[in-house]
Structure 1
Amino acid sequence: MELLAVLAMAFYLLAAFACVHNLLNPQNQGRRYGLLAALFALALHGLWLFDTVVMVPGQNLSMLNVASIVSLIICLLMTILVSRFNVWLLMPVVYGFAGLLLATDYLLPSYYGMYLETRPAVLLHIGLGLMSYSLLVIACLLAILLGFLDNRLKKHKLTNLPAMPPLMTIERYLFRLIFVGVVLLTLSISSGLFFLQEMFSPGKAHKAILTILAWCVYVGLLWGHHRLGWRGRKVIWTSVAGSILLTLAYFGSRFVREVLLG
């Protein structure tokens, strides 16, 4: 299984390098090789996570394992997304970060056992939460890309960048992702309120509060865009703020408990 992790890291590195090469050589027609390397990395990463997380009985949902699962979901969705329209500027960061997280998880193994096979409601809650978080992180990346391209456009420096989709296209995909992410986040919060009695217990209440605050931020963003026509920096900074709140909710206390105090 160690070989799977090493090979996945190598293919992530190869995919990131191929994406950088394609960005520096826009006339190059070898993008499919970068995507092929990414697909190998995703498959190997998934197999390694399955062996690392799924145990009999129970599951090892340590902070790094969960972060690695999120990075796998983000890479998979971004690989699908990049084939629909050009967001190649983001792909070296996405693949590189996934490889870095995988390397960290491989080198610093930790354990946080759960038994989700006996608690399907908790499995549903966690699954919805991870999917919503992944989508909203991708939305945050698109928001940052939107801000970068808008800044370059104002300075008339877009000519030396590879072909990119129109800003309106990026913005449209951004709000679609935020909408779907908010729907899944709403279902995740609702499932927690209905099925998890300990959701607001001492030691866990801060996670619920931060998650609900992030939900309010995203709902406010959608409302502001629909009713008040919010665009530009308001959208970018609000999206980043919501992503930071969710990251603190999902990983803040786990980082303190498993890394700083572990």
Structure 2
Amino acid sequence: MILLSLIFWLLNITIFLSVHLAKVENLALFAYPLTTFILVLTYLYPGKTVVQTANFEGMVSHIFLSLFATSTLCLAFLQSILLGLQNYYLRHRAPAALLKLLPPLQTMEGLLYVFLWLGLSCLSLALISGIWFQANHPELKHTPQIFLSLITWLIICTLLIGRYKLGWHLQKSVLGTTIGFALIFMSYFGTHL
């Protein structure tokens, strides 16, 4: 649970810092209640294991990169939900007041791809350091996490190539981001189950 609360802490910091660069206040509508829920769960069910990093030089930077990649991909996931809802409401002529709360569709889609690029960059660095740790310390046993993270990396690369080379838009972006986030989430939390 502590790991999940750290991811949401980084997510909220990213939203807070991004407000000055782009209109991301809408993401706070999802992020803040989720963060509150995660903090309550962390308080009720505190973790008992702590990652030992003393014997592994550079492990803290790998963990931070992994957490930042996950929180950025979580932001991309939340952005894709908003983008999907906005697209649905535009197609079904929802009340104009609801649509006025969100930036234009093109801006929302551009912001999604900014989050995906940032997430891909951090995930790439986290994968490189994770593969290095796995090769030098086979006792760590992070192979399932690396495998799921690699699949996520491939999905995000495919989304970005599809966007810029093939002109993919909304539905593929939303679906690909959702699958990518689900896999990266499973790589950190599902492998422990």
User: Shared topology, TM-score over 0.5?
Assistant: yes
Instruction: State the partner residue of 1:106.
Output: 43
Q: Distance in 1 between matches of 2:140 and 2:12?
A: 34
Query: Deviation string for 1:208-228 (max 9, x for gaps)?
Result: 111110110001111111110
Instruction: State the partner residue of 1:181.
Output: 119
How far off its partner does 1:159 sit? 0.5
Instruction: State the partner residue of 1:126.
Output: 63
Q: Distance in 1 between matches of 2:76 and 2:110?
A: 11
How far off its partner does 1:110 sit? 2.1
Three-state SS of the structure 1 residue aligned to 2:151 is: helix
Q: Distance in 1 between matches of 2:21 and 2:121?
A: 23
Three-state SS of the structure 2 residue aligned to 1:90 is: helix
User: Relative to 1, partners in 2 of residues 1:230 and 1:199: Cα closer, same or farther, differing over 3 Å?
Assistant: farther
Q: Distance in 1 between matches of 2:62 and 2:183?
A: 18
Q: Under a length normalisation based on structure 1, what TM-score does the superposition of the two structures give?
A: 0.68
Note the aligned Cα RMSD (angstroms): 2.0
How far off its partner does 1:102 sit? 0.7
Give the number of aligned pairs: 192
Query: Deviation string for 1:213-254 (max 9, x for gaps)?
Result: 011000111111111001010110000000000000011022
Structure number with the bigger relative contact order (C-alpha 8 A, sep ≥ 6) is 2
On the 8 A contact 2:134/2:140 being kept in 1, the answer is no
Instruction: State the partner residue of 1:145.
Output: 82
User: Relative to 1, partners in 2 of residues 1:127 and 1:239: Cα closer, same or farther, differing over 3 Å?
Assistant: same
User: Relative to 1, partners in 2 of residues 1:248 and 1:115: Cα closer, same or farther, differing over 3 Å?
Assistant: same
User: Relative to 1, partners in 2 of residues 1:146 and 1:199: Cα closer, same or farther, differing over 3 Å?
Assistant: farther
Instruction: State the partner residue of 1:40.
Output: none
Q: Distance in 2 between matches of 1:198 and 1:246?
A: 23
User: Relative to 1, partners in 2 of residues 1:124 and 1:85: Cα closer, same or farther, differing over 3 Å?
Assistant: closer
Q: Under a length normalisation based on structure 2, what TM-score does the superposition of the two structures give?
A: 0.90
The structure with the largest alpha-carbon Rg is 1
Q: Distance in 2 between matches of 1:158 and 1:86?
A: 21
Q: Distance in 2 between matches of 1:172 and 1:89?
A: 15
Instruction: State the partner residue of 2:148.
Output: 210
Instruction: State the partner residue of 1:167.
Output: 105
User: Relative to 1, partners in 2 of residues 1:228 and 1:200: Cα closer, same or farther, differing over 3 Å?
Assistant: farther
Query: Deviation string for 1:166-197 (max 9, x for gaps)?
Result: 11111111111111110111111111122333
Instruction: State the partner residue of 1:240.
Output: 178
5+ long unaligned stretches in structure 1: 1-63, 257-262
Instruction: State the partner residue of 2:165.
Output: 227
Three-state SS of the structure 1 residue aligned to 2:135 is: coil
Query: Deviation string for 1:49-108 (max 9, x for gaps)?
Result: xxxxxxxxxxxxxxx001000011111212333454444443232111111111111111
